[in-house]
Amino acid sequence: DDVRMPLQARASLDLARFLLRQRSPDSVALALSHAETLTAVHPESAAAWALLAEVRHAERCFMDRDFVRLHEDALAAARRAIELDPDEASAGVVEASIVGQFGCDPEAGIRRLRKLLRRVPHHSDARCSLAALMQYVGAFEDALAELSIARAHDPLSPFPRAHAANVLAYARRHDEARDEWKLASAAGAPRLTTEVLRGMNELWAGQHARARAHFESAAAGFPTSAMPAVCGAMVDAASGDWKRANATIADCVARFP
């Protein structure tokens, strides 16, 4: 599908994919601009629709827009890509993830991803998404095994390590998660989500001061993102400072209605 696109469009597609991997609000917004242009100019391209699905799915992480609308848009784009090319794997990953997470049916999402991986066993993002759903059903060791395979297929990517750190945090193996996050961060995992999820690991471990430090670091680096503030309110609530927590949430609602 990429090969049939004009050279300029393929370059735009590759640039958008690169921007998406950075996972910052600004980079994802730029990726969205490319994806929307590509689907408008090349509506016959499954790769363009799959990219749009991935971008819309990534936007949900920033907690600053309509969650339902993002998932509906991501799912519609993914299904359009699959309609154009039933073998479009990235779109299949997005569809399965939405079914598993937003649709609250992780087992169905797991089945879809396992079927997809039989066709494209090298797809490391599919294995990361599979591990994310497995952690929700408590299959922690199976999730870590999938991430080991993902690392073997894509050894330079920080994402399998980041997902492994989050699985360990869900499993309440907080010390191991802390070490894995250090490796993921050193490998180049996106700073915003890394700092926030490192903070969540500390919050779940009862280390409120450590959690707050991570959330404050994220807020300093990304002052226009709602996510660090929302997570900071969680620390306030867990620490018993309800007044500060409610004030933070009120401020977020005002800034991100």
| pLDDT digits 0-9 by tens, 101-112 | 999 999 999 999
pLDDT confidence of residue 62: 85
Whole-structure pTM over 0.75, yes or no? yes
Q: Is the pLDDT of residue 211 over 80?
A: yes
SS3 49: helix
Amino acid at 190: P
Identify the sign of the CA torsion 3, 49, 35, 43.
positive
- Read off the pLDDT of each residue in 84-112 and give the average, rounded to a whole number: 97
CA-to-CA dists, residue 21 to 27, 54, 121, angstroms: 8, 10, 20
- Read off the pLDDT of each residue in 185-202 and give the average, rounded to a whole number: 96
pLDDT confidence of residue 3: 58
State pLDDT tens for residues 115-136. 999 999 999 999 999 999 999 9
Q: Is the pLDDT of residue 240 over 90?
A: yes
Instruction: Place 1 in a pLDDT band, splitting at 50, 70 and 90.
Output: low
- Read off the pLDDT of each residue in 29-51 and give the average, rounded to a whole number: 97
Instruction: Place 67 in a pLDDT band, splitting at 50, 70 and 90.
Output: confident
Q: Are 255 and 226 in contact (CB under 8 A)?
A: yes
Separation of alpha carbons 29 and 58, rounded Å: 10
